[in-house]
Amino acid sequence: MLNVKPGWKNWQLLTEKGRHIWAFKPSSNNINHHLQNAEAISDQEIAQLQEDFLFDKSNNPNSGDKVFRASAIAANFDEFTGRLPRLPFKAQKIADSLIKGINYYARLQSDDGHWPGDYGGPLFLLPGLLVASYISGTPFPKAHQEMMKLYLFNHQNKDAGWGMHIEGESTMFGTVMQYVSLRILGVDKNHEALLKARDWIQNNGGVTGIPSWGKFYLSTLNLYDWQGFNSLFPEMWLFPKWLPFHPSRYWCHSRMVYLPMAYCYAQRIKVPENEFILSLRDELYGDTFATIDWPKQRNALCPNDNYTKLSPVLKWMNLFTNSYEKVSCSWLRKKALAYILRYLNAEDAQTDYIDIGPVNKAINSICIWHAYGSESEPFKKHVARWYDYLWVAEDGMKMNGYNGSQLWDTAFATRAILESDLGKLFPETIQKSYRFIDLSQIKAEHSTHAEFFRHPMIGCWPFSTTENGWPVADCTAEGLSATLATHASGLVNPVIDEQRIEQAVDSILSYQNKDGGWATYELTRAPKWLEKLNPSEVFADIMIDYSWTECTAACVIALLEIQEAYPDYKTNLIHQAIKAGLQFILKQQKADGSWYGAWAVCFTYATWFAVEAISKAKGKGYFNESILIDSTNKACVFLIGKQKADGGWGETFESCSKLVYSEAETSQVVNTAWAVLTLMVADFKDNNVIDAGVNLLLSRQTDTGDWLQEKISGVFNYNCMITYANYRNIFPIWALNRYYNQIIQE
Ligand code: LAN
In this structure, the answer to whether residues 364 and 443 fall within a common structural domain is no
Q: Which of 359, 375, 399 is the last residue of a domain?
A: 399
CB neighbours of 258 closer than 8 A, spacing ≥ 6? 232, 247, 250
Dist CA 46 CA 41 (whole Å) = 7
User: Ligand 1 atom 4: the closest Cα is on which residue?
Assistant: 599
Which has the closest alpha carbon to 219: 211, 210, 205, 229? 229
Residue 390's SS3 state is strand
Q: Which residues of 164-173 are buried (b: 16+ CB within 10 A; e: fewer)?
A: bbbbbebbbb
115 within domain boundaries: no
* 387 and 426 belong to one structural domain: no
* Cβ proximity of 549 and 598 under 8 Å: yes
Closest atom of ligand 1 to CA, residue 478: 6
Residue 680, pLDDT score: 98
Q: What is the 8-class DSSP label of residue 650?
A: -
Nearest CA to ligand 1 atom 7: 599
- Full DSSP string of 430-479: HHHHHHHHHHHS-----TTTTTTTPPP-TT--BSS-TTT--B-HHHHHHH
Hey, what long-range contacts does 84-90 have (CB within 8 A, 24 or more apart)?
Answer: 84/422, 84/425, 87/744, 88/743, 90/743
Q: In ligand 1, which atom is closest to the CA atom of 521?
A: 13
- Are 38 and 23 in contact by the 8 Å Cβ rule? The answer is yes
User: Within this chain, do residues 385 and 411 fall inside the same structural domain, yes or no?
Assistant: no
Q: How far apart are CA 582 and CA 588, in angstroms?
A: 10
CA 321 to chain centre: 33
Would residue 109 count as lying in a domain?
A: no
If you take atom 28 of ligand 1, which residue's CA is the nearest one? 359
Which three-class secondary structure state does DSSP give residue 392?
Answer: strand
Beta strands in 45-124 (DSSP E): none
Ligand 1 atom showing the smallest separation from residue 714 Cα: 20
| Residues 338 and 470 grouped into a single domain | no
d(CA 184, CA 688): 56
Positions in the chain whose pLDDT score sits under 50: none
Secondary structure (3-state) at 663: strand
Tell me the pairing of strands 170-171 and 390-393.
unpaired
With contact defined as beta carbons under 8 Å apart, do 697 and 672 qualify?
A: yes
Segment 525-532 long-range contacts (CB within 8 Å, at least 24 positions apart): 525/248, 525/249, 525/250, 526/244, 526/245, 526/249, 526/250, 527/244, 530/244, 530/245, 530/249, 530/250, 532/311, 532/313, 532/314
What is the best residue among 118, 165, 253 to mutate for testing ligand 1's pocket, by most ligand atoms within 8 Å of CB? 253
CB 212 within 8 A of CB 536: yes
Ligand 1 mean position, distance from CA 408 (Å): 12
Supply the pLDDT for residue 533.
95
Please tell me the distance from the alpha carbon of residue 389 to that of residue 22, in angstroms, as a whole number: 9
297 and 190 housed in the same domain: yes
> Is the CB of residue 284 less than 8 Å from the CB of residue 176?
yes
Backbone phi, psi, residue 15, to 5°: -130, 150
Which of 399, 416, 451 is the last residue before a domain boundary? 399
The burial of 179, by beta-carbon neighbours within 10 Å (0-12 exposed, 13-18 middle, 19 or more buried), is given as buried
pLDDT score for 78: 60
Average model confidence (pLDDT) for the chain?
A: 96
CATH code for the domain of 453: 1.50.10.20
> Rounded to whole angstroms, how far apart are CA atoms 707 and 612?
24
Instruction: Say if CB 594 and CB 660 are below 8 A apart.
Output: no
**407 pocket-lining for ligand 1 (C-beta < 6 Å):** no
> Of 367, 399, 431, which marks where a domain is finished?
399
CA 110 to ligand 1 center in whole angstroms: 23
In this predicted structure, what is the pLDDT of residue 75? 83
357 lines ligand 1 (CB under 6 A): yes
Same domain, 395 and 413: no
Residue 520 in contact with ligand 1 by CB distance below 6 A: yes
- Let me know whether 230 and 321 are in one domain: yes
Asked if the structure places residue 112 within a domain, the reply is no
Residues in contact with 681: Cβ distance below 8 Å, sequence separation at least 6, in sequence order: 611, 612, 615, 616, 738
How many residues appear in the chain? 746
Residue 723 beta carbon below 6 angstroms from any ligand 1 atom = no
> 573 — phi, psi (to 5°)?
-60, -45
- Residue 51's domain spans which residues? 6-103
Degrees, nearest 5: CA angle 69-75-78: 110
Residues 180 and 92 in one domain: no
Is 117 within a domain? no
Q: Residue 358: CB within 6 Å of ligand 1?
A: yes
Residue 716 CA to ligand 1 centre (angstroms): 6
CA-to-CA distance for 605 and 601, rounded, in angstroms?
Answer: 6
Distance 689 CA to ligand 1 centre (A): 33
Same domain, 661 and 556: yes
Are 525 and 600 in a shared domain? yes
Is there a single domain that holds both residue 374 and residue 516?
A: no
The partner residues of 397 in beta bridges, in order of sequence, read: 392
**Which has the closest alpha carbon to 300: 216, 225, 430, 210?**
210
The residues annotated with a catalytic role in the active site are 474
Q: Return the pLDDT at 374.
A: 96
Phi, psi of 683 (to 5 degrees): 60, 45
Pocket of ligand 1 contains residue 599 by CB under 6 Å: yes
For residue 79, the model assigns a pLDDT of: 56
In ligand 1, which atom is closest to the CA atom of 256? 31
**Is position 116 within any domain?**
no
Count: domains in the chain: 3
Q: Is the CB of 253 under 6 A from ligand 1?
A: yes
Sign, CA dihedral 158-159-165-169, equals negative
Q: What is the pLDDT of residue 357?
A: 98
pTM confidence score? 0.97
pLDDT score at 745 = 82
Residue 113's nearest CA partner among 533, 523, 439, 559 is 439
Ligand 1, residue 356: give the atom nearest the CA. 18
Instruction: Give the torsion sign (CA, 695, 428, 487, 583).
Output: negative
Query: Ligand 1 centre from 472 Cα, in Å?
Result: 10
Cα–ligand 1 centroid distance for 200 (angstroms): 30
Same domain, 187 and 46: no
Sign of CA dihedral 222, 227, 232, 235: positive
Protein residue with least CA distance to atom 18, ligand 1: 357
